[in-house]
Structure 1
Amino acid sequence: MYKEILPHKVRRFSQYPDENDWEGIIIHTEDHTIMGDMGFRRSTEDPKELELGYSIVPRYQGYGYATEMAKAMVKWGLEQPGIERIIARCDNDNFASIRVLEKAGLKRFEEKENKIHWSS
């Protein structure tokens, strides 16, 4: 999967240049390998809200990297001028993401169409 991250990010940055300040890749510090990506996007009309999104390469899943980054991103996002809320969505059977979002301090506020919606 990590081979697809860079082309995906280039496409996203080209398609949504306003998100360039909010997204990036995650590099494992010991082996200098891309292990995922994480960032924010504006998914609603509310300028006070950012949506958190992320992916971790399977080889690096289960070690707490997503949780560590999600906590840092939520904290950082809420420190940005004008931002009052961080939201996220995940499939209702994605137990790993559910735990990551819970540990990042987000709370469930809605469940619809097999998705759980979260908010800070």
Structure 2
Amino acid sequence: MATVATGTAAASLTNTLFTTHAYAQGPADYVKGQAKEKIVEAFMPLVEMIQALSYPIALVMLTGGALMFMINQKEKGISLIQNASIGYILVQLMPLMMQLLVGIGNTVG
């Protein structure tokens, strides 16, 4: 019981600290930050859907590249495999790159 009560007290104290800290930078900055978070949250299902679709698309492209390689069109096959691999990696790293861009924007602005 003591742990639960202590956790509740810490949570209520933490919420109070966050609220006062958020308004320390000004209400306009707080609203901008909240709007930015809401926009990022709104686009996350779209990003997750694109990431989920990238696997089967990359699989088809890799298979096509392997078949091209097998029928003696090596350059075209290797190019297709490379493009599929690089594209898949970039799509999977998309959320990380967006967080990096947001961090740079916060630092600059």
TM tier, smaller: under 0.3
| TM-score normalised to structure 2 length | 0.25
* Larger-Rg structure: 2
Kindly indicate which of the two structures has a greater share of residues assigned to helix: 2
Higher share in strand? 1
Instruction: Give the alignment's TM-score, normalised by structure 1.
Output: 0.23
